[in-house]
Structure 1
Amino acid sequence: MMVDNGAMSDSSSDADTDDKNSRKALAVVSDGSDKTKDQKTLRRLAQNREAARKSRLRKKAYVQQLENSRMKLSQLEQELQRARQQGIFVSSAGDQSQSMSGNGALAFDVEYARWLEEHNRRINELRGAVNSHAGDGELRIIVDGILAHYEDIFRIKGDAAKADVFHILSGMWKTPAERCFLWLGGFRSSEILKLLTNQLEPLTEQQLLAINNLQQSSQQAEDALSQGMEALQQSLADTLAGSLGPSGSTGNVANYMGQMAMAMGKLGTLEGFIRQADNLRQQTLQQMHRVLTTRQSARALLAISDYFSRLRALSSLWLARPRD
């Protein structure tokens, strides 16, 4: 009996030891898993901070370039004014001015191409996270980074509009199919929201109501801006017509210069229209994000990106189409 009790005691002791070792092993695995997740989060945050730093540096360099161009343009205008006062006609002035404007447009095109490349990288990262069923914490970091990246392009466009508002309005920095749907230098928020309503099902009744309200308010704001733009165009046409003489030629010089000065002042408001349109686009993205869950916001950003990718692909197919 003594031997049996000893055996049982040894067996119980071994079982307790094994149980303790198992718990320790599970704790180590769990701790390792948590550390791995923390390292991924820290690495993601570091990447976002580095991307933000590079974006700030690019913006600073671009703003400096715009300021240098503005100073050169101011000097050119002063030289042209002195030449006019001396009765000298400078034939190359228009070419120089056009060249400087073209340089500003080219600088924006380069900056936009860089932004689009970075945007596509972030979208691919988000797509990978969604497909791998990443947690809401990881998705939230990527989604917030993409929304912040959208704010970068709105700031870049605002600066570019100050240098060449017509280039931004024309949409020549976009592909042909994208230009077909261009509205005041960008996309219509209301159309994007219509697209998302079908892509994000199922939505709760509260979410659906919020999206519909946001879509209606965006449509109203777009209509108001469109009406303002039409009124500006009509006013500008009337002003230019008023500078013509009875025979259709230029009349009194003082009247002509006064009318042209008025027209220049009205053209200056175009920059404000672009700024308001981009503010609407930015607010729509932010409010959409507040209405949706993190995972729904991720799907929404993917859907928006896929839509514009298809427009760019359509442009490529159209340009490469067979011609008889």
Structure 2
Amino acid sequence: MFALITTLSIAWFAETLNIFPSQPMHVAEPIPAKGVSMGMVAAMMPNGNSSSPRRQEEGGQRSAPPPPAPAVPLPNSAKENRSSLTKKEATSGGKGATSGDQERVRDPKTLRRLAQNREAARKSRLRKKAYIQQLETSRIRLSQLEQQVQVARVQGVFLGAGEQPAGFPSAPSPAAVFDMEYGRWVEEHSKLMFQLRAALNEHMADEQLQAFVNGAMAQHEELLNLKGAMARADVFHLLSGVWASPAERCFLWLGGFRPSEVIKVMLKHVEPLSEGQILGIYNLQQSVQEREEALNHTMEATQQSISDIVAAPDVAPATFIGHMSLAMNKVASMESFVLQADGLRQQTLHKLHHILTTRQAARCMVAIADYFHRLRALSTLWVARPRQEDGPGL
């Protein structure tokens, strides 16, 4: 009887232990990874269920913990993401040190190759600059050749004006050709001065400004060549100034501008000047004024001589031709005076270009062009001015 009671008590105690779990109830069971079935989880758990191990009835000892779950293979995309993250962390952590080490550990061969690349780039830049300068020089030479061809064409018209055969229309007179060529020159010179003024406002390099200044000098030489041909063809037309505007005609000196007046215009617009430049311009102005006075005296003397020859009394018909031939020789000497005046104008521009810097020479060219442009504008305004009507008594 006592043995039966003892057996029942042990059985009841074992059942009571099965009611209470060996682990807390609030601990959540691990969620199986993606791709692991519930059957695999159940197989990994002891006794085929997910409950915690219980105390064994017969031995009275705790059961051994379940073996660790086998590693579940991850998908290929997860492996690639993990490897890329690891590489990024390694790269970001040692980027500065790696680049610094590479800079310090460059071998002599790499350094020599880099130096050769830099030298090749420098030579390439120099070749490009020389090529651009060669193109600009070729452009200026081509422009000069075109000007020489134009001058030769005009001279051909001047010299062959009266040699057309009968039945053909007569060629235009030298005066008409010169007036037409002068109008074309004024238009082209105005375009070039507009470009030069824009280059000054944009603060271009001296090389580009020098190209514009050389173009302006070439245009002035073209005009002097046209005037020289006109002086040999008809010096009276050139000296009269009918090819220029009325306001320009008032300031005309021997068929062109007065060089000393151009120097005064330049001094008002080109500054600052160094002491050496001021001294050079002063000496140039003195020499130019002296040559102007000398040409004025010789021209006045020649004009007086022509007037005396023409006004001589009692010229017999037999000696009239010889008398007029003497006057013609005096007129021919006037041509040389005009050519000397043109040479003085050309020398003045060249000496100013030599004294001034490139930027100052560009401003000088613009100032001279503006001066004559304003004289032409003054003439236009004077002709178009409103006139008062005459009174009834006049």
TM norm structure 1: 0.78
Question: Which residue in 1 is equivalent to 2:387?
Answer: 323
Q: What is the number of residues matched between the two proteins?
A: 287
Contact 1:229–1:273 (8 Å) recurs in 2: yes
How far apart in 1 are the matches of 2:249 and 2:233? Answer: 21
Which has the larger share of helix?
A: 1
8 Å CA contact 2:209–2:359 kept in 1: the answer is yes
Contact 1:177 1:311 in 2 (8 A): yes
Alignment match, 1:255: 319
Q: What does 1:175-186 align with in structure 2 at a 5 Å threshold? A: 175-186=245-256
2:199 aligned partner: 129
Output the amino acid matched with 1:142: F
- The match for 1:110 among 175, 180, 189 is 180
**Deviation for aligned residue 1:17:** 8.6
Percent sequence identity over aligned pairs = 42
Q: Deviations over 1:202-229 (max 9, x none)?
A: 2111111111111111111111111111
Residues 41 and 138, structure 1, Cα contact 8 Å, conserved in 2: no
1:173 paired residue number: 243
Secondary structure, counterpart of 1:69 in structure 2: coil
Contact map agreement 2:224 2:342 (CA 8 A) in 1: yes
Gapped regions of structure 2 (runs ≥ 5):
1-86, 104-113, 389-394
Pick aligned residue for 1:192 from 253, 262, 267: 262
Q: How does 1:18-37 map to 2 (within 5 A)?
A: none
Q: For the aligned residues, what is the CA RMSD?
A: 3.4
| Superposition deviation, residue 6 in structure 1 | 7.4
Which letter maps to 2:359?
A: R
**Structure 1 residue 48 displacement after superposition:** 2.9
In the other structure, the counterpart of 1:160 is 230
2:161 and 2:330 mapped to 1: Cα distance?
23
CA drift of 1:9 comes to 4.2
Q: Output one character per residue of 1:155-206: Cα deviation in whole Å (capped at 9) or x when no partner.
A: 1110111111111101111000000100000010011111212221221111
Identify the range of structure 1 (253-262 vs 44-53) with the bigger mean alpha-carbon deviation: 44-53
Amino acid at match of 1:262: L
Distance in 2 (alpha carbons) for counterparts of 1:32 and 1:125:
30
Look up the match of 1:64.
156
Computing the radius of gyration over CA atoms, which structure comes out larger, 1 or 2?
Answer: 2
SS of 1:186's partner is coil
- Equivalent position SS for 1:268: helix
User: Which of 356, 359, 363 is matched with 1:292 structurally?
Assistant: 356
Change (3 A) 1:12 1:46: farther
Partners of 2:147 and 2:287 in 1: how far apart? 32
User: Is 2:371 aligned against 1:307?
Assistant: yes
Could you list the runs of 5+ residues in structure 1 that have no partner in the other structure? 77-98, 246-250
One-letter code of the match for 1:268? A
CA distance in 2, matches of 1:297, 1:258: 51
Quote the residue 1:264 is aligned against. Answer: 328
Which residue matches 1:12? Answer: 97
Choose which of 146, 149, 162 in structure 2 pairs with 1:54. 146
Please say if 1:208 is aligned against 2:272. Answer: no
> Distance in 1 between the 2:218 and 2:287 partners?
23
CA 1:270–1:152 in structure 2 vs 1: closer, same or farther (change >3 Å)? same
Q: CA deviation at 1:292?
A: 0.6
**Structure 1 residues 135 and 6, CA, compared in 2 at 3 Å: closer, same or farther?**
closer
Between the aligned partners of 1:213 and 1:139, the Cα distance in structure 2 is 26
TM-score scaled by structure 2?
A: 0.65
Q: Which residue number in structure 2 is paired with residue 90 of structure 1?
A: none
Corresponding letter in the other structure for 1:237: S
For the residue of structure 2 that corresponds to 1:323, the secondary structure is: coil
Change (3 A) 1:316 1:39: farther
Q: Distance in 2 between matches of 1:319 and 1:196?
A: 28
Deviations 1:255-307 (A, max 9, x none): 32221111111111111011000000000000011111111101111100010
Quick check: 267-276 or 197-206, which moved more? Answer: 197-206
CA displacement at 1:126 relative to structure 2: 1.0
User: How far has the Cα of 1:135 moved from its partner?
Assistant: 0.8
1:86 corresponds to which residue?
Answer: none
Alignment partner of 1:203: what SS?
A: coil
Give the alignment partner of residue 144 of structure 1, picking from 192, 197, 214.
214
